[in-house]
Amino acid sequence: MTRKNLLRLIFLVALLASGGLEFLGERYPPEHSWDHPLFFALTGAIACVVLSVIAKGIVSPVLDRPEDFYETDATEYAEVKAKFAAEGEN
Amino acid sequence: MFGLLPPAFIYLAAALLLPLLPKGIRPWAFLVPPVLVLLQLSGLQHGDTLTWGFATFELTLLRVDALSMVFGWIFALVTLVAGIYALHNRNTGEQVSALLYSGSALGAVYAGDLFTLVFFWEIMAFASAYLVWARGTAAASAAAWRYLFVHIFGGSLLMAGVFLQVGETGSLAFDAFEGGAAAWLILLGFGVNAAMVPFHAWIADAYPRGTVTGSVFLSAFTTKTAVYTLARGFAGWDFLIWAGLIMALYGVTYAILSNDIRRVLAYHIVSQVGFMVAGIGIGTELALNGATSHAYTHILYKGLLFMATGAVLHATGRSRMTDLGGLYSRMPWVFWAYMVAALSISSAPFFSGFISKPMTISAAEYASTEVAVILLHLASVGTFLSVGLKLPFFTWFSKAPAVPIEVRPLPWNMYAAMGIGVFLNILLGVWPAPLYAILPYEVTFDPYALKNLKKGFQLLLATALVFFLIAQRLKPKAKIQLDTDWFYRAPKAFAWKTTVEPVAAFFAWGERASWGAAAWAVRWGRDPVGTLGRVMGRPSSVGRLAPGETASTTYRASMTLMMVVLLAGVLFLLAAVALGRIG
């Protein structure tokens, strides 16, 4: 088994184990939405997709600009590069 | 050890003395004031105060209670760690301004009245701006000016509120506010420093442009001082719940898109401070404990995040994810230090954030709406997505960029400071008792209850699963995103054209006109007789003068006559004036 596959296996086991925590401890009838089993696993997965879609799908197309959009920033990274070559960053 | 001396004074005195020491020991001398203050704080008792009569007011330079002590401890501790991180830095200006900055943050936290608060608040603004300016690039210098102007604006709102408050009540006391115009102005003044949306853009503008060591200081003090003042003055204000939720979500959205690694972290300050602000808005004992403890852990893990990303910048000269990648084989220890901080900010179990952030969310579950709770979870997932997964993936893994990365060795002190950060974040994560003991209220929250563990693990692992499926879609782009700083940066060209250019044009015209008049006078004055002759229609007998030659260099009888007449006239005038005086 390659190292990468081993890491994948460990990750999957941990994921299943975190779901398995649902079966430990006492259970009460749910009062809020977050009392349902696996609520947080689903929230994590859905929230990840939702945020990515909002950021990359909506915000990015509207608000993305080239890095030299502002006049004072136009040469910023060239200057940082020159500074690193000459004296380094402290 | 120093009795009731305000801790700020130790820092301010050190800032004055430091430049007098030999250059080689200044970085080490920097560590003395935080150690002294830590000793000093251990001797203070709740209820201690130090007052000073000033004009007709009594100022409270020192107010010791549970809330101010939590912030005092962490402020002194983080100065020490950041000071170790900066031991290699020989820039005296940075050392002095870092002392002034962290000292005035301590001064603001222990201030018992509004005047003392404003005094230290303003020093903080100027001293911290220098830490950005000291980077030395044109973009950093411009960002430092903008940073300063925004903070002067915030300070002015605060001061206006204070004047109004004093006018209405006659009291300078800094306690919980009741409402009214004065309180709202003060709230907005605090809000600018807390990076409240829409007054937050300065943080993403300035912090990524600060010096490597300066940004570690910046990440600790300004926003957390504001959290302290909000907790002191505005606990339980509903407005803050919504302001905090907006900050939490706004910050993560921009962080997902940012390309500069330190800008990602700056946007996460907005987001994390949003959790604290929301907790203050909820205002219950659990929520205030949550906000306070989160400020404490936030300073520890955010400092470590800025140290690790600063180390990448120091070693490679790069800070954009599009320029980085594949660094793991060359900077593995920095990666692991970063991951400890990233897991802490994501509130993974056994790391520092886990003992504080869930406390705030738990307070929302008891005392706020279901929507608020779900939005806080959403922001929490976004934090792990960008700080815990995206940033490390595209910096240390993914594909190395086309231009090979030069990796310079890091000074030992950077590793030492990061090591201390790692230790503290893990220690606090597994052993929260020392922090819980100093919180303002008794702690009833158990982070390691089964339901909290379940929540922590499920959220993070599910987020990670989805990230690995969509990672390539989140690939960073060499772009910036417009933010509210557009409103004061974009009109620059217009303002320049309408205000600066007409004035400059008027003065340029005036300059041209006066020089033109002088040139004209010189041209005609070179040969007064010839000029006179030309005016009277008789061309000069000498003819045209060669360039550089004047009429005075050539002898002519008519010139002599003219000069004699002029001299006689002048003598006559002088004689008349003199005689008039004597007579």
Q: State the ipTM, two decimals.
A: 0.92
* Token pair recorded at residue B18: 């430091």
Give the pLDDT mean for B83-93: 95
Indicate whether B20 pLDDT > 60.
yes
Give the pLDDT mean for B416-425: 97
Least confidently predicted of B97-106, B327-336, B447-456? B447-456
Least confidently predicted of A5-19, B199-213, B231-245? A5-19
Predicted local distance difference test score (pLDDT) of residue B546: 66
Q: In angstroms, what separates the C-alpha of B180 from chain A's closest C-alpha?
A: 36
User: Looking at chain B from residue 19 to 58, which residues have their Cβ under 8 Å from any Cβ of chain A?
Assistant: none
Q: Measured between CB atoms, does B329 come within 8 Å of chain A?
A: no
Predicted local distance difference test score (pLDDT) of residue B551: 60
Separation of CA B228 from chain center: 17
Indicate whether B529 pLDDT > 80.
no
Q: In angstroms, what separates the C-alpha of B197 from chain A's closest C-alpha?
A: 16
pLDDT tens-place string over residues B38-52:
999 999 999 888 988
> In whole angstroms, what is the distance from residue B279 CA to residue B266 CA?
20
A78 or B244, which is more confident? B244
Q: Ranked by mean pLDDT, which of A59-73, B51-65, B111-125, B549-563 comes out on top?
A: B111-125
Tell me the CA distances in angstroms from B305 to B65, B347, B476, one per residue in order. 30, 14, 19
Predicted local distance difference test score (pLDDT) of residue B496: 87
Tell me the CA distances in angstroms from B286 to B66, B225, B240, B248, one per residue in order. 15, 20, 16, 19
The answer to whether B394 touches B321, Cβ cutoff 8 Å, is yes
Task: Name the residue in chain A with its Cα closest to that of B216.
Answer: A90
Predicted local distance difference test score (pLDDT) of residue B552: 60
Q: What pLDDT band is residue B535 in, cutting at 50, 70 and 90?
A: confident
The residue with tokens 């993974």 is B348
Phi, psi (rounded to 5 degrees) for A64: -65, 135
Cβ-based neighbours of A68, under 8 Å, separated by 6 or more: A74, A75
Predicted local distance difference test score (pLDDT) of residue B107: 96
Task: Name the residue in chain A with its Cα closest to that of B316.
Answer: A84
Give the pLDDT mean for B262-281: 97
Picking from A39, A64, A89 by the largest number of B CB atoms within 10 A of its own CB, the best residue to mutate is: A89
* Long-range Cβ pairs for the range B433-439 (8 Å, 24+): B435/B293, B435/B296, B435/B297, B435/B355, B436/B293, B436/B355, B438/B66, B438/B69, B438/B70, B438/B73, B439/B66, B439/B70, B439/B289, B439/B292, B439/B293
pLDDT tens-place string over residues B538-583:
655 555 666 666 666 666 677 778 889 999 999 999 998 888 876 5
The answer to whether B102 touches B221, Cβ cutoff 8 Å, is yes
Of B304, B155, B168, B322, give the one whose Cα is nearest residue B222.
B155
Least confidently predicted of B81-95, B212-226, B522-536? B522-536
Share of chain B above pLDDT 70, in %: 96
pTM: 0.88
* B211 contacts in chain A (CB < 8 Å): 89-90
Of the partner residues A25, A60, A75, the one whose CB lies closest to the CB of residue B138 = A75
Residue B323 has what DSSP assignment? G
Q: SS3 breakdown of chain A: % helix, strand, coil, rounded to 5?
A: 70, 5, 25
* B464 contacts in chain A (CB < 8 Å): 11
Q: Measured between CB atoms, does A88 come within 8 Å of chain B?
A: yes
User: Looking at chain B from residue 187 to 216, which residues have their Cβ under 8 Å from any Cβ of chain A?
Assistant: 211-213
Q: In angstroms, what separates the C-alpha of B253 from chain A's closest C-alpha?
A: 6
Q: In angstroms, what separates the C-alpha of A3 from chain B's closest C-alpha?
A: 15
Q: In angstroms, what separates the C-alpha of A6 from chain B's closest C-alpha?
A: 15
Predicted local distance difference test score (pLDDT) of residue B583: 54
Q: Measured between CB atoms, does B454 come within 8 Å of chain A?
A: yes
What is chain B's mean pLDDT, rounded? 92
Q: Measured between CB atoms, does B136 come within 8 Å of chain A?
A: yes
The answer to whether B158 touches B189, Cβ cutoff 8 Å, is yes
Rg, C-alpha atoms of chain B: 32
Predicted local distance difference test score (pLDDT) of residue B542: 52
> In whole angstroms, what is the distance from residue B121 CA to residue B136 CA?
25
A80–B317 CB contact, under 8 Å: yes
pLDDT tens-place string over residues B224-269:
999 999 999 999 999 999 999 999 999 999 999 999 999 999 999 9
Task: Name the residue in chain B with its Cα closest to that of A27.
Answer: B451
Indicate whether A23 pLDDT > 60.
yes
Q: In angstroms, what separates the C-alpha of A86 from chain B's closest C-alpha?
A: 11
The answer to whether B242 touches B282, Cβ cutoff 8 Å, is no
Sign for the pseudo-dihedral over CA of B155, B161, B163, B166: negative
Separation of CA B88 from chain center: 22
> In whole angstroms, what is the distance from residue A74 CA to residue B489 CA?
14
Inter-chain Cβ pairs, chain A and chain B, closer than 8 A: 173
Tell me the CA distances in angstroms from B535 to B148, B367, B475, B525, B531, one per residue in order. 62, 96, 81, 13, 6
